[in-house]
């Protein structure tokens, strides 16, 4: 579009926005198993109202907006209490898990500069199941990620392999509770012992588990140790906007020793303008997500979250049972909470995801990597719970309908000319593949299974290059 020449009425614009929104996945029906976290209409209305009430308040200057500072302090105190951080712990609210992880890696780097100046090329040791946000943080802050294979059957981090990867340049190790892809929890207590032994910082990525695992444990579910009470854990990330059901834009980075937080703060007064002091990556930030988070924590309270987790965990366990009864379907690893993934040796999981989309369900396909086959990820939320039986019926029918008439995703073989193309990719690789993937990069095809099968067979480095080009073109309209 060109820049609007004339204004339009609010009613007209809101109608246009509703029309655009109609093309998105139908999350309000409880048929989307990713991205959306819905605690019900009353909670959703409260979150929207609180967000709107503080939409224009700016967290940049706590002296001008002390209400935002006060709410952030309350939220962080609640998170520290939930994560058993103790009296010396401190933290900050961020816009999401990625920003929390960025700050943690920056803190580790700057802490090492202060206390271990002999390290010139800092390294972070992490399992191959670690969220990509850590690799993004390493790229941003010039830290080397040292990737360690996980156990091929449990997909959990191997403490012995992690310890073997530690070098004199290691500044931090990482574990997940759980890792997003398969919902499995790394052996945090054992990794903590390694961190203590080698005097390293230890980050637990609890972004998806932070507002779920503590309540599941209180309900009697078998949850291994994972929080700030574990010896050796020095920092932890936690998202409120996932299973805390806050408005998006609400996460936290917590430190067991609050003094560590100083290394994440940026200050600059060496210019003629106002002094900048930023605890997080953002400078200006809306008070809306902070207020919405404060409101939902007080609205639901311990009893409300326990009820949500009780219903969600029951739905996830029923889902696992149902998946186990479908021939050819295999749940990967041993997920302890409401996130899981399944693979198949008999049907193409990428085609299955598209078949389910045609039946009105959104499920998240994931490429195969290392010892993990291509699979489908499910994040079960409270909004999905009433629909689990209907989902299992449709999935069973979809698997049976597809049968064995197409090869499974991990059996797809690329023609020799394509393999040669990927071994020595030309600058115009994307254009050469355009006819095969059904798009020039400016539009999205109706089905993604052809593209996903092709991408699954491509080496990750080449795949990333194609994805960058695709997104670059998609947003270039």
User: How large is the angle between the packed helices 429-437 and 449-456, nearest 10 degrees?
Assistant: 140
Please tell me the predicted confidence (pLDDT) of residue 23.
85
CA–CA separation, 287 and 56 (whole Å): 7
CA–CA separation, 83 and 233 (whole Å): 11
Q: Domain 52-296 adopts which CATH fold?
A: 3.40.640
Catalogue the long-range contacts made by 397-404 (C-beta closer than 8 Å, 24 or more residues apart). 398/352, 398/355, 398/356, 398/359, 399/326, 399/327, 399/328, 399/329, 399/344, 399/346, 399/347, 399/352, 401/355, 402/347, 402/348, 402/351, 402/352, 402/355, 403/346, 403/347, 404/346, 404/347
Which residue stretches of the chain have pLDDT < 50?
Answer: 409-410
Please tell me the predicted confidence (pLDDT) of residue 438.
61
- pTM of the predicted structure, to 2 decimals: 0.94
Please tell me the predicted confidence (pLDDT) of residue 439.
65
Please tell me the predicted confidence (pLDDT) of residue 437.
63
Q: Domain 303-410 adopts which CATH fold?
A: 3.90.1150
Residue spans of the domains in the chain: they are 52-296, 303-410, 413-474
Please tell me the predicted confidence (pLDDT) of residue 116.
97
């Amino acid at each position: 579009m060109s820049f609007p020449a004339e204004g339009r009425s609010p009613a007209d614009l809101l109608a246009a926005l509703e029309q655009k929104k109609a093309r998105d996945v139908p999350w309000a029906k409880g048929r989307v198993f990713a991205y959306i976290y819905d605690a019900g209409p009353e909670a959703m209305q409260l979150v929207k109202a609180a967000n709107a009430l503080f939409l224009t308040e700016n967290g940049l200057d706590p002296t001008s907006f002390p209400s935002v500072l006060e709410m952030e302090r309350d939220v962080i105190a609640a998170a520290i209490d939930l994560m058993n951080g103790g009296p010396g712990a401190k933290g900050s609210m961020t816009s999401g898990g990625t920003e929390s992880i960025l700050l943690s890696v920056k803190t580790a780097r700057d802490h090492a500069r202060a206390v271990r100046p002999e390290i010139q090329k800092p390294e972070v040791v992490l399992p191959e199941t670690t969220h990509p946000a850590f690799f993004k943080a390493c790229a941003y802050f010039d830290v080397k990620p040292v990737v360690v294979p996980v156990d091929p059957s449990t997909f959990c981090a191997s403490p012995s392999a992690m310890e073997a990867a530690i070098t004199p340049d290691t500044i931090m190790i990482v574990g997940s509770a759980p890792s997003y892809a398969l919902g499995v929890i790394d052996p945090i207590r054992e990794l903590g012992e390694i961190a203590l032994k080698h005097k390293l910082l230890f980050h637990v990525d609890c972004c998806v588990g932070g507002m779920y695992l503590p309540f599941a444990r209180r309900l009697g579910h078998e949850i291994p140790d994972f929080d700030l009470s574990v010896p050796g854990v020095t920092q932890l990330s936690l998202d409120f906007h996932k299973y805390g059901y806050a408005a998006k834009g609400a996460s936290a980075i917590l430190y067991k020793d609050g003094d560590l937080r100083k290394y994440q703060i940026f200050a600059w007064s060496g210019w003629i303008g106002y002094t900048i002091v930023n605890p997080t990556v953002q400078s200006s930030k809306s008070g809306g997500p902070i207020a919405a988070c404060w409101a939902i924590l007080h609205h639901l309270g311990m009893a409300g979250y326990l009820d949500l987790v009780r219903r969600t965990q029951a739905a996830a366990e029923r889902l696992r049972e149902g998946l186990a009864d479908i021939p050819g379907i295999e749940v990967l690893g041993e997920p302890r909470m409401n996130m899981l993934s399944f693979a198949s040796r008999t049907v193409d999981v990428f085609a299955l995801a598209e078949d389910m989309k045609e039946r009105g369900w959104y499920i998240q396909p994931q490429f195969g990597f290392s010892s993990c086959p291509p699979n489908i990820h499910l994040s079960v939320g409270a909004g999905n719970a009433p629909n689990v039986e209907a989902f299992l019926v449709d999935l069973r029918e979809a698997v049976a309908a597809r049968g064995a008439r197409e090869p499974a995703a991990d059996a797809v073989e690329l023609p020799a000319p394509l393999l040669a193309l990927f071994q020595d990719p030309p600058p115009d690789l994307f254009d050469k593949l355009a006819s095969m993937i059904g798009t020039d990069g400016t539009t999205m095809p109706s089905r993604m299974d052809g593209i996903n099968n092709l991408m699954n067979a491509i080496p990750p480095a080449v795949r990333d290059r194609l994805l960058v080009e695709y997104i670059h073109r998609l947003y270039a309209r």
